[in-house]
Chain A
Amino acid sequence: MTQTSTLARGGADTSAPSRRSRKRTRRSGLSPKAVPYVLLLPGFLVIAVLLLYPMYQMVEMSFHKVGLRQIKAINPAPAEFVGLDNYESVLGSPLFWSSLRNTVIFALVTVALTLVLGTLVGVLLNKLGRKMSTFVVVGIMAAWATPPTAQAIVWKWLFDSDAGVANWMLNLLPDWLSQLLFGRSDWSGQPWFNDTSTLYFVLIVAVVWASFPFIAVSVLAGLKSIPSELYEAAKMDGSSAVSTFRRITFPLLKPVFSVLVVLSIIWDFKVFTQLYLLAGGTTNRDAFNLSLWSYAEAFGGSAPKLGLGAAIAVVLTVILLLITLVYVRQIVKTEDDIR
């Protein structure tokens, strides 16, 4: 690969081309050792100011009481240090447990469904002919490309109580089957967004719908990267389909899967836009997940509690960073270019 060869040759700070580097110095007056730092500086500053400093500030705010008076543009009042009070009220709140439950259950179910569906579709794409495969890929692109806002709105419309397609389809089921599966046969006017469990059901469908294409296309890319010689050799040795999958396909796709699992967990843990829109804002406290709860405390009411919101965000971030560590380890392991 070009990447590795470039690296093997080293960058400007290797000792070999000393004559050339002297030339460079003369031309631009910048020591070659300083070049990468100069190039990196603007980007690093942006990240530091817009991502790192706010993270530090978030932790700091979580120990303070921050309200409207503290965030005024003109001479804001100093924030009062309250120690662990915010965390105590987070952990003591019944909302914490309900939103943690919503977050975790939603993430587990969605990640599992997304991965299973995505993998199946990826395998299917690999088996389909070229034209059919392109056709399906373009189709699933449509789902993937739909902006989260539009996703939520479209699914809200599909599950509309009166004119939604979902209720119409459920009404199509033979009465006995509907009765057997759901204990009812008439779905006309069934509201989906009043009750937390049905709301989350729609949310899961919407998020799985939007995120399985990414898994499918990644799995397809992974499958395509496995050299066909391996399969031919396995066939020669009389390996069965199951053991070919277990011994060749799965081990070679394992790094892909672990990255996909972690990415999916992270994305589904912090789902916000779709939930916000499906739940219709921050009024339905029962439907909160950690993201939405944090937002609701900080911006939802007339008396914003930014410190409390920050404390919730810290809890969520800590959970996510723990999961991220697994991801980073995997990437560092597989990406020879990073070290």
Chain B
Amino acid sequence: MSPLTRNKPGRVPPNAPRVVVLLFAVLPVRWRITPFKPWLARVSLNAAGVAVFLFAVFPVYWMVATAFKPNDQIFTTSFIPFPSPPSMDHVQRVFTKGVGELPIWQYLLNSAIVALSAVVLGAVFALLAATAVARFRFRFRTSFLILLLIVQMVPAEALLIPLFTMVKRIGLYDQLLGLIVINVGLTLPFSVWMLRTFVAAVPKELEEASWIDGAGRFTTFWRVLFPLVAPGLVATSIFAFITTWNEFVFALTLINDQGKYTMPVALKFFVGQRSTDWGGIMAASTLMTIPVLVFFLLVQRRMVSGLVAGAVKG
């Protein structure tokens, strides 16, 4: 906003540059008060909003659009904004002939198996640990929380080499189970960190009432705490699902058999194998992005609060 708007009409701000002083002498008084008319400000703000929207959405749109374009509209130096008419060729090919002679179902299935198993396993561990740190005070509590923060920052590539040898040694190399276990480990610190705020938000009185009514520890946990934490658990699990679904470097290193590829590795393989089949590649990318996009819109708000932790206080 212009500093001019903040001043009373007719008064030159102190230390104003010469140009401003000159403008004050020349411009009519009405202009000095609102050099930016309100409607103009609103229009330019909205225009900026639209620009941001287009910048963010265009690449995603272009991915989807390319997936539905016939080849002659893909390989052209001119700009074709919409697939006209839309063609299902690429999507169909990806589903039937697929990537590396395997239909894409196989990879979607592998990804879903890995992500869902890791999420379910991780949710159990995370819920127990989150209850411990949110409901009890004990020695090592602070140390554990700080440990959670630190391990999240360790680069995956650093863990990759030792985990690779470990997985190889215990015979989990080239198996989805190995990938599941590792993804539980990778997502757990953040899950505990995020879930503990949800547990802490459940009023303790409810549990105490259940105690007084004679419920046991397990019953209290299962009948009182769990239903109340469930929405938070869902949000945390969705986050873990997205992380696992997107995980690339471990899936790339620990899986060799093409039939066990997850989606990200299948995509990489696709690009390497048929680097010119952009229609098919974009169809596969779109298929991979859809579930994440849906989940993302569901948990977006909570993810921010989880990541920035205590820095943003609502």
Residue positions of A touching B, CB distance < 8 A? 2-3, 6-7, 9-14, 20, 23-24, 27-28, 30, 33, 35-37, 39-40, 42-44, 46-47, 49-55, 57-58, 61, 66, 70-73, 76, 121, 124-125, 127-128, 132-133, 135-151, 153-158, 160, 162-163, 165, 167-168, 188, 209, 213-214, 217-218, 221-222, 224-225, 240-242, 255-256, 258-260, 263, 266, 269-270, 272-273, 276-277, 280-281, 291, 294-295, 298-299, 306, 309-310, 313-314, 316-317, 320-321, 323-324, 327-328, 330-332, 334-339
Complex contact A256–B129 (CB within 8 A): no
Complex contact B282–A157 (CB within 8 A): yes
B83-104 vs A, CB cutoff 8 Å, 1 = contact: the mask equals 0000000000000000000000
Which of A20, A50, A155 is close to B59, meaning CB atoms less than 8 Å apart? Answer: A155
Chain A residues near B268 (CB-CB < 8 A):
149, 276-277
Query: Could you tell me the distance between the alpha carbons of A223 and B28 in the complex, rounded to whole angstroms?
Result: 36
7 contacts between A and B (CB under 8 A): A50-B185, A145-B289, A222-B311, A280-B272, A294-B157, A295-B253, A313-B157
Chain B residues near A35 (CB-CB < 8 A):
132, 136, 217
Complex contact B3–A242 (CB within 8 A): yes
Is B203 an interface position by the 8 A CB rule? yes
* Interchain residue pairs A-B with the least CB separation, the first 8: A50-B185, A335-B310, A43-B129, A36-B136, A11-B136, A57-B162, A145-B296, A139-B53
Which of A139, A154, A162, A306 is close to B62, meaning CB atoms less than 8 Å apart? Answer: A154
Chain B residues near A145 (CB-CB < 8 A):
242, 289, 292-293, 296-297
B169-202 vs A, CB cutoff 8 Å, 1 = contact: the mask equals 1010100000001101110110010000100111
Q: What is the minimal beta-carbon distance from A77 to any residue of chain B, in angstroms?
A: 13
Q: What is the minimal beta-carbon distance from B46 to any residue of chain A, in angstroms?
A: 6
Complex contact B249–A147 (CB within 8 A): no
Complex contact A44–B144 (CB within 8 A): yes
Complex contact B132–A36 (CB within 8 A): yes
Is B39 an interface position by the 8 A CB rule? no
What is the interface residue range for chain B against chain A? 35 or more
Complex contact B293–A335 (CB within 8 A): no
Chain B residues near A242 (CB-CB < 8 A):
3
Is B229 an interface position by the 8 A CB rule? no
Complex contact B150–A43 (CB within 8 A): no
Complex contact B281–A153 (CB within 8 A): yes
Residue of B nearest to A9 (CB): B204
Chain B residues near A335 (CB-CB < 8 A):
309-310
Query: Could you tell me the distance between the alpha carbons of A246 and B249 in the complex, rounded to whole angstroms?
Result: 43
Chain B residues near A218 (CB-CB < 8 A):
304, 307-308, 312
Residue of B nearest to A266 (CB): B153
